[in-house]
Structure 1
Amino acid sequence: MANHRLRDRVIENFVKSWSRAKPPIATLAVEALTDLYDRFREAGLADRTFEQQLTSGQPATYEQRMGELLLADMLWRDGFSLESNDEGPDFFVSKDGKSAWIELHTPDRSGIPLDYFDLSTPGLVKGVPHTEINLRWTTAIDQKKGQLKKYINSGIVKADQPYIIAVNSRLLNPFKMTGINGVSGKPIAVEVLFSVGPVQIQIDRLSGEVVDQFHQHRPFLDKPGTESKVESDSFHNPDNARISAVLGVDLLEQVTALGGEHPSALVYNPLATTPIAQRWINAQEHWHCTIEPDSYLVQRLEP
Structure 2
Amino acid sequence: MIPPAVQRKFESACSDAGGLWDIKLRRLIALFEWFTWEGLADPHFVQELAAEDTYRERLSEMLVAYKLMRSGYELKSDSAGPDFWAYKGEQGFWVEVVTPRPTRIDPDYLAQTGATDEGMLEFPADQVLRRWTQAIDKKVAALLGPREGSPDGKRPGYLHKGIVKATQPYVIAVNGRNLRGKAGIGFNGSSGNPCAVEALFAVGPLHIRFDPIGNGFMRPSLGRSQRASIESPNGSPIPLTTFLDETYAQVSAVWALDIDEDEVLLDPAWPNLERNYFASAGVFNPLAVNPLAVGAFPTFEDWTCNISGDSYQLTHHNRIPFRPSR
Match of 2:41 in 1: 46
Whole-Å separation in 2 of the counterparts to 1:145 and 1:18: 34
Is the alpha carbon distance of 1:120 and 1:218 closer, same or farther for their aligned partners in structure 2, counting shifts above 3 Å?
closer
Letter of the aligned partner of 1:88 in structure 2? G
Please tell me the residue identity of whatever aligns with 1:294: D
State the distance in 2 between where 1:106 and 1:146 align. Answer: 15
Aligned to 1:273: 289
Q: Does 1:186 align with 2:181?
A: no
Counterpart in 2 of 1:212?
Answer: 221
Structure 1 residues 121 and 170 mapped into 2: Cα distance closer, same or farther (>3 Å)? closer
Q: Which residue of 2 aligns with 1:18?
A: 14
Is residue 93 of structure 1 aligned with residue 109 of structure 2?
no
What is the one-letter code of the residue matched to 1:64? Answer: E
Task: Provide the residue aligned with 2:255 in structure 1.
Answer: 247
User: Paired residue for 1:196?
Assistant: 203
Aligned residue in 2 for 1:232: 240
Please report how far the alpha carbon of residue 212 of structure 1 lies from its aligned counterpart in structure 2 after TM superposition.
Answer: 3.1
The residue that corresponds to 2:324 in the other structure is none
Task: Indicate which of 109, 112, 116 corresponds to 1:119.
Answer: 112
Structure 2: how far apart are the matches of 1:174 and 1:21? 19
Shifted more, 173-182 versus 267-276: the winner is 173-182
1:301 counterpart SS class: strand
Residue from 285, 296, 313 that aligns with 1:297: 313
Structure 1 residue 27, shift from structure 2 partner? 0.2
Q: Which moved more, 1:68-77 or 1:215-224?
A: 215-224
Aligned to 2:54, the other structure's residue is in SS state helix
**Is 2:77 the counterpart of 1:84?**
yes
Q: Could you say which residue in structure 1 is the equivalent of 2:139? A: 144
**1:180 touches 1:187 (CA, 8 Å); kept in 2?**
yes
Paired with 1:42 and 1:207, the residues of 2 have a C-alpha distance of 71
Q: What is the aligned-residue identity percentage?
A: 35
After TM superposition, give the deviation of residue 277 of structure 1 in Å. Answer: 2.2
Gaps of 5+ in 2: 145-156, 268-274, 320-326
- CA separation of 1:155/1:26 partners in 2, compared to 1, >3 Å: closer, same or farther? same
| Structure 1 residues 203 and 87: alpha-carbon distance in aligned structure 2, compared to 1, 3 A threshold | same
1:161-213 superposed Cα distances (whole Å, 9 cap, x missing partner): 00001111011012284462111111111111100011211236997754333
Deviation for aligned residue 1:302: 4.3
Q: Give the length in aligned residue pairs.
A: 295
Q: Which residue of 2 aligns with 1:160?
A: 167
Give the equivalent residue in structure 1 for 2:151: none
Once residues 164 and 313 of structure 2 are traced to their aligned partners in structure 1, the CA distance between those partners, rounded to angstroms, is: 31
Superposed displacement of residue 290, structure 1: 0.4
1:122 shift after superposition: 7.5
Q: Which residue of 2 aligns with 1:62?
A: 55
In structure 2, C-alpha distance between the alignment counterparts of 1:108 and 1:63, rounded to whole Å? 9
Q: Is the 8 A contact 2:99 2:178 kept in 1?
A: yes
Supply the distance in 2 between the matched residues of 1:301 and 1:131 (Cα, whole angstroms): 25
Residues 29 and 254 in structure 1, CA contact (< 8 A), matched pair in contact too: yes
Structure 2 residue matching 1:146: 3-state secondary structure? helix
Which of 245, 256, 261 matches 2:276?
A: 261
Mean Cα displacement is larger for which, 269-278 or 255-264?
255-264
The residue number in structure 1 matching 2:95 is 102
Rounded to whole Å, the distance in 2 between the matches of 1:211 and 1:20 is 46
TM-score, with length taken from structure 1: 0.91
- Return closer, same or farther for 1:96/1:302 CA change in 2, 3 Å cut-off: farther
Shift of 1:228: 1.6
Question: Residue 149 of structure 2 aligns with which residue?
Answer: none
Relative distance call for 1:176 and 1:10 in structure 2 (3 A) is farther
Mapped to 2, the partners of 1:26 and 1:178 lie a distance apart of 25
- Structure 1 contact 288–299 (Cα < 8 Å) conserved: yes
Q: Which moved more, 1:42-51 or 1:179-188?
A: 179-188
CA contact (8 A) 2:113 2:182 kept: no
Instruction: Kindly provide the amino acid, as one letter, of the partner of residue 136 in structure 1.
Output: R
Scaled by the length of structure 2, the TM-score of the pair is 0.85
Distance in 1, Cα, partners of 2:130 & 2:103 = 10
Aligned amino acid, residue 108 of structure 2: D
